[in-house]
Amino acid sequence: MDLAGAVCLVTGASSGIGRATTRRLVDEGATVLALGRDRAALEATRAHPIVCDLTDEEAVDRTVAEIGEVDVLVNNAGIGWAGPLAELDEETLNRLVRVNLVVPVLLTRAFVPGMVARGRGHVVNVGSIVGLVGGKHEAGYASTKGGLVAFTESLRQELSDSPVHVSLVTPGAIATNFFERRGRPYERRFPRAVPADRVGAAIVAAIRGDRAEVYVPRWLAFPPRFHGLLPGLYRRLAARFG
């Protein structure tokens, strides 16, 4: 898709991957609607700020009505949580499911019909590697991202005869404050966390090239394939090396 003049909505645009993606889309000449909770941070992206708390159902409905039509939807907003499942309280679980899975489905349902009618559109869902292979002490978070993976594939099949394209962008560890917000910092030496702008660039490339799947970094495509081919061996290695 040619992004010049396209109307793009990016959720979670206040920081991290969302902010990097927003700036990249602005540089491409798109009209970008940057959605998040921090107005000052949104305004700094040079996009059109849209302040909205995605945990507020009424606010989301009102915002969707005010936005109108978009050509590109980037479902990037997400929250994390790390720890044993028994310690995951119901309120936090509901927020994880709401922001990471329910809102992307609702926004897609709202905007895709207009894309189909106009003969132009692209949906990008930002997943996570744990949504494909799981992760120790990430059962709650991984389940929401796994749901997003299934939603993306199902949507892609549903829209296969339409001009609307669907991409799943799967990042690994990214150098943002996501890990601190989830309650556990990223401390592994390998793989190293990569800059958020690499994911932003990958998202823009996926839209421009109508790419179905993108991994950041690229070698991250290997673990899901390994898991699919040799699940028992994968689990033994995951148990040993974490």
d(CA 67, CA 54): 15
pLDDT band at 192 (very low <50, low <70, confident <90, very high): confident
* Helix, strand, coil content of the chain in percent (nearest 5): 50, 15, 30
The b/e string for 186-224 (b: 16+ C-beta within 10 A; e otherwise) is beeeeeeebebbbbbebbbebbeeebebbbbeeebeebb
Q: How far is it, in rounded angstroms, from Cα 30 to Cα 150?
A: 29
**What was the pLDDT predicted at 227?**
95
Give the sign of the dihedral formed by CA 175, CA 26, CA 95, CA 132.
negative
Distance between CA 203 and CA 78 in Å, rounded? 16
Flag the least confident range among 103-112, 149-158, 232-241. 232-241
Q: Which residues contact 73 (CB under 8 A, 6 or more apart)?
A: 8, 9, 107, 108, 111, 112, 121, 122, 123, 124
Q: Pick the residue with more confidence: 194 or 209?
A: 209
pLDDT at 187: 61
As a whole number of Å, the end-to-end CA separation of the chain is 39
Q: In this model, does residue 10 exceed pLDDT 90?
A: yes
Rounded Cα distance between 70 and 220, Å, is 31
* Tokens encoding 112: 């895709």
Query: By mean pLDDT, which of 28-42, 103-117, 143-157, 161-175 is the weakest?
Result: 161-175
pTM: 0.94
Segment 61-88 mean pLDDT: 96
Three-state SS for 32?
Answer: strand
> 6 with 26: CB under 8 angstroms?
no
Decide if 36 contacts 76 (C-beta within 8 A). Answer: no
Give the span between the Cα atoms of 21 and 9, in whole angstroms: 10
- Which domains are present in the chain? 7-241 (3.40.50.720)
Q: Is 141 a catalytic residue?
A: yes
**Within 13 Å and on the Cβ side, how many CA atoms surround 123?**
31
Q: Which of 141, 186, 215, 234 is catalytic?
A: 141
The residues pairing with 164 across neighbouring beta strands, listed in sequence order, are 121
One DSSP character per residue, 165-218 reads EEEEEEE-SBSSTHHHHHTS----SSSPPB-HHHHHHHHHHHHHHT-SEEEESG
Taking only the tens place, the pLDDT of each residue in 115-146 is 999 999 999 999 999 999 999 999 999 999 99
For residue 114, what are the contacts with CB-CB under 8 A and spacing of at least 6? Answer: 69, 70, 121
pLDDT at 241 over 80: no
